[in-house]
Structure 1
Amino acid sequence: MINKKRILLTQVLMTGMMAATMSGIMSLIALGPGAVWLGVWARQFVCAWPIAFVMTTLIWPIANRLSGLLLRETATH
């Protein structure tokens, strides 16, 4: 069993990386490369990371259960 500290650290790292890449890519598409884009990206990242963290905390159990149902797995724990 994975300990709770590792789960939390993984979630912090994963949501941080996803928030950075998604906010960067989407703002780059909208604005193109340049100084304005970098400023917008930084603000969007600071806003996106906590939202991503909270949403994964709420949505993870639902997604985990749905994937089990879709794969027709039975609970073994």
Structure 2
Amino acid sequence: MHDTKTIIVAQLFISGMMAFLMTGFFGFIHATSILAWLAEWANAFVIAWPVAFVLSLGVGRLGFKLAVTCRRHI
């Protein structure tokens, strides 16, 4: 297993990339123009990244536990 500092830094990268991609994708679906999409994407990303980071800390641990449990049964 990795040390706590590595896990936190990894979660920063993972949550940032996922928030960036998800807000861009869903913003594009609802956009009326490219400029509106870019403006909305920026606003949504600023809100989504901190939320994604906090949630990923809990979900990440659960995900690892589930993966270890499933691996034992396969």
Q: Name the TM-score class by shorter chain.
A: 0.7 to 0.9
Q: Report percent identity of matched pairs.
A: 34
Aligned alpha-carbon RMSD (Å): 1.7
Tell which has more relative contact order, 1 or 2 (C-alpha 8 A, sep 6+).
Answer: 2
Q: Normalising by structure 1, report the TM-score.
A: 0.79
Q: Distance in 2 between matches of 1:58 and 1:4?
A: 13
- Structure 1: 5+ residue stretches without partners: none
TM-score normalized by the length of structure 2 = 0.82
- The structure with the greater share of residues assigned to helix is 2
How many residue pairs align between the two structures?
73
Which structure has the larger Rg?
1
Runs of at least 5 residues in structure 2 that lack an aligned partner in the other structure? none
Query: Any runs of at least 4 consecutive aligned residues in structure 1 with deviations exceeding 2 A, and if so which?
Result: 1-7
